[in-house]
Amino acid sequence: MGAIKSKRFKKTPQVLLMGLDSAGKSTLLYRQQRGVVMETSPTVGFNVATVELDKKTSLSVWDVGGQGTMRPNWKYYLEGCKVLVFVVDSSDRARMGEAQKALKKILSHEHLKGVPLMVLANKKDLPNSLTIREVSTLLELDSYTDRVWQIQACSALKGLGLQQAFLSIAKLMHKA
């Protein structure tokens, strides 16, 4: 998500958009954005992008691959999260295990206890993309019995399924 410019960062975002690098987070944001305000946070060493969805809701975006050593700093960012949106590249079977581990790790944080989860199985336009049932199995979503979760297929590139996804995210916010 390096291409997005940054300006401001809120410490208590309402929606966190996470996923491995190349999952399609930046593409999704560019599709959804109204006004994008971004920041690279030098103090914690990873990029955080914040988008104003509307006057009351902000969305912060992180790459979570390989950030294990940054975990002590996560508490400053995860607090106040109402919905966690996890984006996966559904055409990349080889990295599903890595995505599963990253998701599990982030969800184990105390600040995300009981926080609803929306998984976006992105790149559904590609012919080799996995079904949402397959993605859900590989991410072991059934093991998350202590929170509400949903999975939806989308294509950030083609703009497919995004409107529905954001409507569902708005609904999940009220379940937090």
- What residue ranges bind ligand G3D (CB under 6 A)? 1, 19, 21-27, 122-123, 125-126, 155-157
* Matching residue, tokens 């703009």: 159
Question: Measured from the CB of residue 2, what is the shortest distance to ligand G3D in angstroms?
Answer: 8
Looking at the Cβ atoms of 82 and 123, the one nearer to ligand G3D is 123
Kind and range of the H or E run holding 87: strand 83-89
Instruction: List, as residue ranges, the binding site for GTP.
Output: 19-26, 66, 122-125
SS3 category, 33: coil
Question: Measured from the CB of residue 27, what is the shortest distance to ligand G3D in angstroms?
Answer: 3
Q: Which of 14, 32, 33, 67 does the annotation list as catalytic? A: 67
Instruction: List, as residue ranges, the binding site for Mg(2+).
Output: 26, 43
Looking at the Cβ atoms of 107 and 121, the one nearer to ligand G3D is 121
* Matching residue, tokens 């006057």: 55
Cite the DSSP H helix spans in the chain.
25-32, 71-78, 96-107, 132-138, 162-173
Based on the residue annotation, tell me whether 67 is a catalytic residue of this protein. yes
Strands, sheet with 58-63, edge to edge from the N-terminal-most edge strand: 35-41, 46-52, 58-63, 15-19, 83-89, 117-122, 149-153
Phi first, then psi, for residue 107 (nearest 5°) are -70, -15
Looking at the Cβ atoms of 28 and 81, the one nearer to ligand G3D is 28
Catalytic residues: 67
